[in-house]
Chain A
Amino acid sequence: MSQILVFAEQRDSKLKSYALEAISEGRRLADAAGGSLSVCVIGGGVSDLATTVAGYGADKIFMADDAGLSTYSPGSYAKILADALGASSASVVLLSSSAMGRELGALLAAKADASLLSDVIETRWEGDHIVVKRPVYAGKAFLKIAAKRAPVVVTLRPNVFPAVEKAGQGAVETLAVSEDSKVTITDTSLKASTRPELTEASIIVAGGRAMGGPENYKIIEELADTLGAAVAASRASVDAGWRPHADQVGQTGKTVSPNLYIACGISGAIQHLAGMNSSKCIVAINTDPEAPIFKVADYGIVADLFEVVPALNEAAKELLA
């Protein structure tokens, strides 16, 4: 009855942290309805991932492992995922709200004539229907939406759902490789960085307009490195050319939900809040006690970030050693 299918995103044969979150949420939904969980893994040299996928609760693993799939191909991946959907007879398909997950989710939804619910932050059963919660209007409201027709495709916001290890049967079924090369990825360049990627980071240190210039981000980077955090920027500092757009958090940038978000010299415009207000703990450092960022912050220091950030770095080094 209640079969769940999860697409487990990987790059370079490494599962994304949000893939494990999606598998765990799939397991939870399957258990709640007495159903089973299938997970689809697509790539080149990815067969070894079956052990991990089973370790997070997959009953069945649809595996498409082929050298030709090493580079992401939207068309081929979507076709294979549609085959997995057919073979699993799933009523709910979960992916992540990542670049790949959003694209594949929409391609799959069109193929399967299914509705797509994106950037979901909560899922549960109400009777036979899956009901989800998702933010709209820059997080100023939430919608509760019921899927009336199966299948339904859902993308989950990264870093919101817990990844929980739980042994599943992990029976592997090999899927035939379908090719669709209407769209070709001709180059993928991943930045070599010692810092975590923004959407997966559990701690983020962000600098805004008050940074005053690109050279001043050094203190943000130093604090980030002490905490093992990612570095982010507000729209103002990206538009000023101090940081790349890839670092931007907010409505016209990335949406993040880390455990800890430290906003330094960020006033907290609604556009910025839209990208980070689902963070579990928010710290604001700003000279203006009336800045809107303090309205969403759990902790605040009203002071000059150029004094506070280095002091935080020193305190963190000392207290977290």
Chain B
Amino acid sequence: MKIVVCVKQVPDTETKVVIGSDGLSIDPGEVKYVMNPYDEYAVEEALKLKEAAGEGEVIILTVAGEEAQPAMRTAMAMGADSGVLLKAENAALADGLSVAKALVEEIKTLDADLVMAGKMAIDGYGHQVGTLLGELLDMPVLPTAKSLDIADGVATITRDIEGGKETVTAKLPCVITAEKGLNEPRYPALRGIMQAKRKPLEIKDITLADAGVEILEMSYPPKKPDGRIVGEGPEAAAELIKLLRDEAQVL
């Protein structure tokens, strides 16, 4: 079983966001980068499938600058076999469609049984690359999987929808995106980290398709005025309800 997992290196959630001098993206200065957490679920699931099958290959794919190698090495330290970094200028400003198109070009050469990705990346909140991949590859796509079973060439996932859940199936080859709850990603062991350094990581120069959108400006959220402490005990409850009803008018 050949599984391609698309990953993205993103700033750790705790990172303080400082807008860069271009006014369009963040200043990478002090940022701590990690593999997108949803992509970790995808990598883990791919490794579990390979282990269960007793054979197979897990290939890590990303569209980024060369600085994204650590995230790929992390995936290899977890157990992935190899990686391809599609090196593009200005990848940080690219839109989901042009990233998906670049991934598709590479995936088409790999003859994968399964393509996986996180359901979204925690930097851009785009929620789209995995689903775009499916349609562009003309493969079925199963987004936001919280569980996955593969039997007789058919993948079955469950996913949350508003107010409930759905069970969804499709034939392989297909694209599946990972939601929290799919598994518990393993921590790379020291041995894995050592081995990862010797695993093949190919860097290919690519040019992204023109995006149909243009970032005009990045800004900080407007400062909220300080909130009001209504009280320091249960006796403040009635006052709070009155404020919510009469002042904020939300009750």
CB-CB under 8 A from A252, the residues of chain B are: 37, 180
User: B227, A298: Cβ atoms under 8 Å?
Assistant: yes
> Are A136 and B123 in contact, CB atoms less than 8 angstroms apart?
yes
Contact residue among B97, B132, B228, B233 (Cβ-Cβ distance under 8 Å from A299): B228
B78-113 vs A: 1/0 string, CB under 8 Å? 000000000000000001110010000000000000
List residues of chain B with CB within 8 A of the CB of A105. 128
Q: Report the minimal beta-carbon distance from B229 to chain A, rounded to whole angstroms.
A: 5
Are the CB atoms of B216 and A307 closer together than 8 Å?
no
Are the CB atoms of A190 and B212 closer together than 8 Å?
Answer: no
User: A103 at the A/B interface (Cβ < 8 Å)?
Assistant: yes
Report the interface size for chain A: residues with CB under 8 A from the other chain. Answer: 99
B26 interface hit (Cβ, 8 Å): yes
A115-B250 CB under 8 A given contacts A141-B220, A183-B141, A299-B227: no
The answer to whether B162 touches A99, judged by C-beta atoms less than 8 angstroms apart, is yes
**Partner of B215 from A135, A144, A312 at Cβ < 8 Å:** A144
Q: Which of B132, B169, B229, B238 lies in contact with A302, CB distance below 8 A?
A: B229
B212: which of A72, A131, A152, A280 is its contact (CB, 8 Å)? Answer: A152
**A314 and B237 form a contact (CB under 8 A):** yes
Given A102-B128, A298-B248, A315-B241, CB of A110 within 8 Å of CB of B100 = yes
Please determine whether A197 and B231 come into contact, CB atoms closer than 8 angstroms: no
CB distance from A220 to the nearest CB of B (A): 14
Chain A positions within 8 Å of B55 at CB level: none
B-contact bits for A270-291, CB 8 A (1 contact / 0 none): 1100100100111110000100
* Residues of B close to A148: CB separation below 8 A: 211-214
Asked whether any CB of chain A lies closer than 8 Å to the CB of B207, the reply is no
B50 to chain A, nearest CB (A): 24
A285-321, CB under 8 A of B: which get 1 and which 0?
Answer: 0000100001111111111000110111011101110
Closest to A313 in B: B237
Q: Determine whether the beta carbon of B251 is less than 8 Å from that of A299.
A: no
Q: Please determine whether B216 and A131 come into contact, CB atoms closer than 8 angstroms.
A: yes
Given known A260-B248, A270-B14, contact A106–B240 (CB-CB < 8 A)? no
Total A-B pairs, Cβ < 8 A: 266
Which A residues are in CB contact (< 8 Å) with B180?
Answer: 245, 252-253
A245 and B41 alpha carbons, distance in the complex (Å)? 16
Q: Chain A 171-211 against B: per-residue CB contact (8 Å), 1 yes, 0 no?
A: 00000000000111111111101000111100100000000
Measured in the bound complex, the distance between the Cα atoms of B143 and A105 in whole Å is: 12
Contact of A116 among B132, B164, B167 (CB under 8 A): B132
Most buried by A among B131, B212, B216: B212
Considering the complex, give the chain B residue whose CB is closest to the CB of A132.
B213
Query: For chain A, what secondary structure do more than half of its interface residues adopt (helix, strand, loop), or is it mixed?
Result: mixed
Taking the complex as formed, is A39 at the interface, i.e. its CB lies under 8 A from any CB of chain B?
A: no
- Within 199-238 of B, Cβ neighbours of A (below 8 Å) are at 211-221, 224, 227-238
In the assembly, what is the distance between CA of A111 and CA of B161, in Å? 23
Minimal beta-carbon separation of A265 from chain B (angstroms): 14
- Sort chain B's interface into a size bin: 35 or more
CB neighbours (8 Å) of B100 from chain A are 110
Q: Is the CB of A106 within 8 A of B122?
A: no
Q: Is A49 an interface residue, CB under 8 A from the partner? A: no
- By the criterion CB–CB under 8 Å, are B241 and A106 in contact? no
Residues A137 and B230 in contact, CB atoms below 8 Å apart? no
Residues A297 and B227 in contact, CB atoms below 8 Å apart: yes
- Chain A: minimal CB distance from B145 (Å): 12
Partner among B26, B97, B140, B242 whose Cβ is within 8 Å of the Cβ of A114: B97
Whether A282 and B221, one on each chain, are in contact in the complex, defined by CB atoms closer than 8 angstroms, is no
Query: How many Å lie between the Cα of A187 and that of B159 in the bound state?
Result: 11
Interface membership of A246, Cβ < 8 A: yes
Q: Does B28 contact A (CB under 8 A)?
A: no
Is the beta-carbon distance between A143 and B218 smaller than 8 angstroms? yes
Q: Given A103-B131, A119-B127, A144-B215, A191 and B245 touching (CB < 8 A)?
A: no
**Closest beta carbon of chain A to B17's beta carbon, Å:** 4
Q: How near does chain A come to B219, taking the closest CB pair, in angstroms?
A: 5
Q: Across the interface, which residues of B come within 8 angstroms of A227, CB to CB?
A: 251
Contacts of A184 in B (CB 8 A): 168-170
Task: Kindly supply a per-residue 1/0 record for chain A positions 83-114, scoring 1 wherever the CB is within 8 Å of any chain B CB and 0 otherwise.
Answer: 00000000000000111101101110111011
Closest to A284 in B: B227
**Which B residues are closer than 8 A to A by beta carbons?**
11, 13-17, 19, 26, 37, 95-97, 100, 122-128, 131-132, 134-136, 139-144, 146, 156, 159-171, 180-181, 211-221, 224, 227-238, 240-245, 248, 250-251
Given contacts A106-B128, A198-B162, 4 further A-B contacts (CB under 8 A): A118-B127, A299-B244, A301-B236, A302-B231
A-B contact pairs, 27 of them (CB 8 A): A107-B134, A107-B135, A111-B135, A115-B213, A116-B128, A117-B213, A137-B122, A141-B17, A143-B218, A146-B216, A147-B212, A147-B213, A182-B171, A185-B168, A186-B169, A188-B166, A189-B164, A252-B37, A270-B13, A283-B244, A299-B230, A300-B228, A301-B230, A301-B231, A311-B237, A312-B241, A320-B241
Q: Which 8 A-B pairs have the closest CB atoms?
A: A110-B135, A106-B131, A311-B237, A115-B212, A190-B164, A149-B212, A311-B234, A187-B167
